[in-house]
Each structure stands twice: as structure tokens, then as C-alpha cells.
A and B are shown apart, each in its own frame.
Chain A
């Protein structure tokens, strides 16, 4: 079984912070294949909005056959999703992308903003010593759910949660050390982590984001710059939806 598009029942949905929603969907055939760091495409029921919205997997329950999606309302498509309840269904395509490679070593998991959700399933599956660094603007979400899996450190732009500043400020402030970084968040955050990892010889996997259309590697909309000529594209481009979204720090130019 590879990727499938299906109509999923919505188990439940709740708002967990301003504009941040947690939706659990029943998608057994996708859940059984899914890995941390992968994503699904969600489709609007409104025919005027044709393109799917890529949403990361926050939790994967292979026994129940469910996926938990935590996303931010960023436009009309996600606004429509946020209004769905357990009476509704939603069309979903997945699992998409490569996901994180789970490696042995002392791990630092770093999530920034809406890049935090995919780190939760990763935290559950990574069987090693973990430090978890979460960066917020000014409102905390999901942090309590990380506590069973490692030491949680936080930063915020406003300084109201944890260290005032970025996740990199938190790493320095708390003297967090590790041999492997796993990160998802806004590009400036990933760029800072990439530089830090390369300078300090830390193996880092970065989960990138770009506007997508097909989600399966055909349309070449969501490319990122690769350091080397990519074997598929034959140019310095990799497809985030298919070759990624997770890349090693040394593979990409941010």
C-alpha cells in the first residue's frame, strides 16, 4: 500500500489555542503506513478551492486507525476545516513525504509555531534521550503533551513563555546539548538551526514548508534549493513534497 485518497470520518475537533485546532480523523489505511514527519493533504468541500492543504501529522494511532492533525487557521481553506465536527467527513490524501529518520544519539527536538505538532509523534517514537525545545509567539499549546517524552524547554517572542527570543536563544540559555537535531518551523528558524548544526557537527534533520499543489512530486511547485545537483531533477532543486519535507542540514540551501 502506498498513498491513497479517501474520505475520512472526523472523530472530534477542538480549538487548543487562538486559531490553532486539533482534529482527529479516522483514516486507517493512511495511519497504518504513516511515519513521524510525514503529512497529509486535506481537501476543501468547496469546489472553488481546488488545491489541497498540506497538514503535518501530530499523532498517529495505528491501533485505532486515527490521525491527529494540529494546524493553524491561515486562510479560507483551513477556516473551513476548523468548522468541521464529528458529524462531518473530510477528503484526505496520504501519507505524503519522507518523514524523519529515527537515529540513535542524544536528540534535540525543536518545533517553532505550527512546526511544533509533528514533533509530538516523533517524540513518542524516538527511543533515546531527548531534549524538546518549543518556540512560540506568545501563546503556548501542546507543551504539556511533550512532558512524558523528555525535558521540555520553551521560548517566545514576547517573553511570556520561557526564554524571551527564539529557540536558538533557549538552546544557548539552557545549555542544551545533543548529537542529533530534528526540527520543524519557519524558515528563519530552520536557517539558524542549520547554521548551528553545521558549525557544531551536529546531525540535523529539518522539515521544510512551501506552497504545494499535487503533493506527490509531479507538479514541481514546492521545490527547495539543494546543495548538490539532485538526481531526479538534474538541477539544484529538490521536491519538498516527495523528496522531503525532511532534509539533512547539509543537503539544502535555505
Chain B
């Protein structure tokens, strides 16, 4: 039985990784999940300098999901290179570093710092809805996305994954722009911009007013978008959005995702990733699937 998948020349032992921001750099989940089991660890977004993030409250629960506006708090690339990469290198898993920035120069600075580091893939966050500058501004306009993708691709030593926002009219236009600019892979979807009002306090539930909605409530939207993008471009896709269990992960794979990221589920069940990996193996045995790659995009 083969569970290995290939993202832009990088072989993952299985298709399961984690959604950026839900897993730190893996340290906090190391005592729940053997990180060696994961196809890859995708890190929390890292910028060129430390970012303090947004005021609290930063999260709220919603029906079948949650919303967050953390604001990409991160310790900056210097600390990340000294502390987080060496930790991840002790694990037998691939490393996907999520890169964030406020300007093209910020992104390039991080990408260049990572050029000599032993990490496998760079996921470029051009879709965070919770920061005022950068982030989503690059991810909602095909021309801006094309330009930043091209600039990063020119400097990046590792293959790049552009992470797409669902907060657009037609996500395939964005996927095509990133493909035309030379991205090696795509990941989708980031969170959907939402709002919740606390009627007792008569104010916004999250201090940032708007926040990104994640969790199973958004899964059907994510599956639909993965399917559309898979049929619009020839790039490998890391699919995500509300994956809670094996069946959810398989939906993304059958819709066209080569790998699947588990996000909000980590907060509900810290063992979720390991359980899903085991569940995929069980599904393959039960259904006599010799190679997981047979399932990728099998629904036409």
C-alpha cells in the first residue's frame, strides 16, 4: 500500500499536514502526536521581524466552527531559524514554512533568509484576512498575486505554495494567476471573513471586528473550491477547510487535493492528525486501494 504523495518534487510519506497557525511549529503538539507520523508540518506564519498580533479577544466560537483574528503574531525569522527549524529537524517529517509579510520586500527578506535553511517547501500567505497591510491585499487581485508570486519565485530556493483566499468572486482566476507566475503548488482555502456580535456586551465578539471563519461549517465551500481549482490548473493542491476526520480528508483528496491540512480540528482533538492518518490507511485496506494517488481527483 502506498500513501506517499508528491508536492512539487517533495515526497510526503502521507497526505496529511496541518493548517498554518493551528499547530505552532509542532512543539506544543509533540506530546500528543508523534510528529514523525505526519506527511509534513506546516508552521505558523513567520515574518521578517516579530509581529505582536491583534488585541484580544482574538477568537470566538461559531456554530460548527470558530473565528480568529490572531493577526499573525510571530517571533520573526531570526528566532524561527534558531529555535523552530532545529526542533523540526529532529523529526522525520517534511517542513513547510508559512511566510507572511506586509510588503513584497518583507516576503522576499524571509524567503531569502530561508534559502540556506533545510526546509522543504515555502507556503506564501497572501490570504490572511486579519492584518491591515499585506496579507489578503495580495490575494484578492489577480495582478497583485501574479506580481508577488513572480517576485518570490525568482528568489525562493525551495518550491513555493501560494495560499489562496476564498474571499474572492472566482478563486480559479487567482489560481490561474499564481500558476502563470510560476508557483509550484497551491494551498486552499484560508479562512472566510466573518463577523460575530456579542449582543450582551453590544460589541464585536472579536476585537478586530472581522475575523476568519474556520472549522466544519466552511468545509463544503472549501471542497467546492478545491474541486474548481483542481479542474482549472495543473498544480498540486494542499486542500484544507474544516477537516475533522478521515472522511473529510478523503473528500478533499477526491475533489483533487494531493495533500490535506488539518486545522481547527487540532483544537477540538489534539490527536486528530494521527487519527486521520490511521483512518486513511484503514480506508485504503478496506476498499482495496493500492495507491493513495488513485484517489486524487477521482471524482470528475
Contacts and interface: CB of A to CB of B under 8 A. Distances in A.
A216 B53 contact: no
B199 to A, nearest CB: 12
Contact of B65 (A50, A212, A221, A223): A50
A222 B270 CA distance: 17
A175 interface: no
B271 interface: yes
A210 B57 contact: yes
Nearest to A1: B31
Interface in A190-243: 210-224, 232-237, 242
B28 A218 contact: yes
Interface residues of B, number: 38
Contact of A232 (B52, B64, B75, B269): B75
Contacts of B21: 219-220
A57 interface: no
Given A216-B29, A234-B75, A48 B58 contact: no
Given A2-B31, A3-B31, A211-B56, A51 B268 contact: yes
A5 interface: yes
A199 B56 CA distance: 27
Contacts of A49: 61
Interface in B253-271: 264, 266-271
B68 A219 contact: yes
B107 interface: no
Given A47-B216, A234-B75, A223 B270 contact: no
A214 B28 contact: yes
Give the most central of B22, B56, B66, B70: most A CB within 10 Å. B56
Given A213-B267, A237-B52, A221 B59 contact: yes
Contact of B271 (A2, A5, A216, A232): A5
Contacts of B52: 235-237
29 contacts: A5-B269, A47-B64, A48-B64, A50-B61, A52-B267, A52-B268, A211-B56, A211-B60, A213-B59, A213-B66, A214-B28, A214-B266, A214-B270, A215-B267, A217-B28, A218-B23, A218-B24, A218-B44, A219-B24, A219-B68, A222-B56, A223-B58, A224-B56, A234-B76, A235-B50, A235-B51, A235-B73, A236-B52, A242-B28
Interface of A: 2-3, 5, 43, 47-52, 77, 93, 210-224, 232-237, 242
